[in-house]
């Protein structure tokens, strides 16, 4: 976990101004492919700097990792590596991360490639995803889903009832298959809209706040206009689960599936 947090912190530092060079050129590219066995309810962590992350469930007790690197030159491509580590066979904990060759604290000029990840995992796995620049898409995962995004849209659809998303710039669109009991959904972004769809039979306490935007709900949630922004607090059903939705600039929508 400490190693993953360090990778995520490095990713946040890798904003424009800390990295020079052109990410995303596609003059040259290469693909890394790796597959191995996963234990039930495994934890999978992915940290990327430039490029999307896509996680897809399947019915095999394996993880399948496809990482496509693309850059404007062979040198940039060679300075970019994808690291994969696992704790056991079958693995219960997997870390996947993008690395760039650098001197000291600063990255070299023409720093590296963008990396597009497509990862298949069993639906019972928990995933923890961090990206600086690139969309993140997750569907059908029933374990805990945690996403940290700096610049890009986040989509998490048909997931289980434990969802945590923190973003800086980008819209967040989500749906959960159940929201009751100990389930929880915590979604926050600085600049972007937040949408969460839940079943009509859900039971949850709801808290929502937007500094510059509105709150729209298919459920009867009391809304208060404030000096700055709008907030909403209320219950759906018996209120057993927890829903917390926040944005500074953007609308919040709580809808029925």
- How confident is the model at residue 8, as a pLDDT? 46
CA 32 to CA 139: how far, in whole Å? 23
Domain region containing 27: 2-256
- How confident is the model at residue 111, as a pLDDT? 60
The answer to whether residues 78 and 162 touch, using CB atoms and an 8 Å cutoff, is no
Contacts of 5 (CB under 8 A, 6+ apart): none
Residue with tokens 């700097």, as numbered in its chain: 49
For the chain, what percent of residues have pLDDT higher than 90?
A: 78
Per-residue tokens: 192: 């972007």
pLDDT of 13 above 80: no
Q: Which of 26-30, 122-126, 199-203, 244-248 has the lowest mean pLDDT?
A: 26-30
Angstrom distances, CA of residue 218 to CA of 127, 200, 233:
29, 9, 14
53-88 pLDDT, tens digit each: 999 999 999 999 999 999 988 988 988 999 999 999
207-247 pLDDT, tens digit each: 999 999 999 999 999 999 878 889 999 999 999 999 999 99
- How confident is the model at residue 137, as a pLDDT? 98
How many structural domains comprise the chain?
1
Q: What is the mean pLDDT of the chain?
A: 88
Phi and psi at residue 180, to the nearest 5°: -160, 165
CA 153 to CA 31: how far, in whole Å? 24
- How confident is the model at residue 25, as a pLDDT? 52
- How confident is the model at residue 23, as a pLDDT? 45
**Ranges of H-type helices in the chain:** 2-13, 74-78
CA 81 to CA 70: how far, in whole Å? 11
Residue with tokens 């890394």, as numbered in its chain: 32
- pTM, 2 dp: 0.87
159-192 pLDDT, tens digit each: 998 999 999 999 999 999 999 999 999 999 999 9
pLDDT of 22 above 50: no
pLDDT of 20 above 90: no
- How confident is the model at residue 14, as a pLDDT? 39
Angstrom distances, CA of residue 169 to CA of 51, 113, 129, 190:
15, 22, 16, 6
């Amino acid at each position: 976990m400490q190693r993953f947090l360090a990778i995520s912190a490095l990713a946040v530092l890798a904003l424009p101004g800390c990295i020079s060079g052109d990410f995303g050129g596609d003059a040259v590219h290469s693909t890394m492919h790796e597959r191995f066995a996963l234990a039930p309810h495994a934890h999978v962590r992915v940290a990327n700097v430039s490029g999307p992350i896509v996680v897809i469930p399947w019915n095999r007790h394996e993880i399948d990792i496809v990482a496509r690197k693309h850059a404007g030159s062979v040198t940039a491509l060679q300075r970019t590596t994808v690291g994969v580590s696992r704790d056991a066979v079958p693995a219960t904990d997997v870390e996947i991360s993008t690395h760039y060759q650098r001197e000291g604290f600063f990255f070299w000029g023409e720093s590296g490639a963008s990396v597009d990840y497509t990862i298949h995992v069993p639906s019972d796995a928990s995933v923890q995803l961090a990206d600086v620049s690139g969309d993140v898409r997750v569907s059908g995962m029933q374990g805990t889903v945690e996403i940290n995004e700096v610049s890009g849209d986040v989509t998490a659809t048909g997931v289980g009832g434990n969802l945590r998303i923190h973003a800086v710039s980008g819209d967040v669109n989500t749906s959960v298959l159940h929201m009751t009991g100990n389930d929880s959904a915590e979604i926050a972004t600085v600049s972007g809209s937040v949408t969460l769809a839940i079943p009509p039979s859900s039971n949850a306490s709801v808290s929502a706040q937007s500094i510059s935007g509105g709150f729209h709900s298919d459920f009867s949630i009391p809304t208060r206009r404030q000096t700055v922004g709008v907030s909403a607090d209320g219950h759906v059903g018996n209120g057993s689960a927890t829903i917390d939705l926040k944005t500074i600039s953007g609308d919040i929508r709580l809808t029925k599936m």
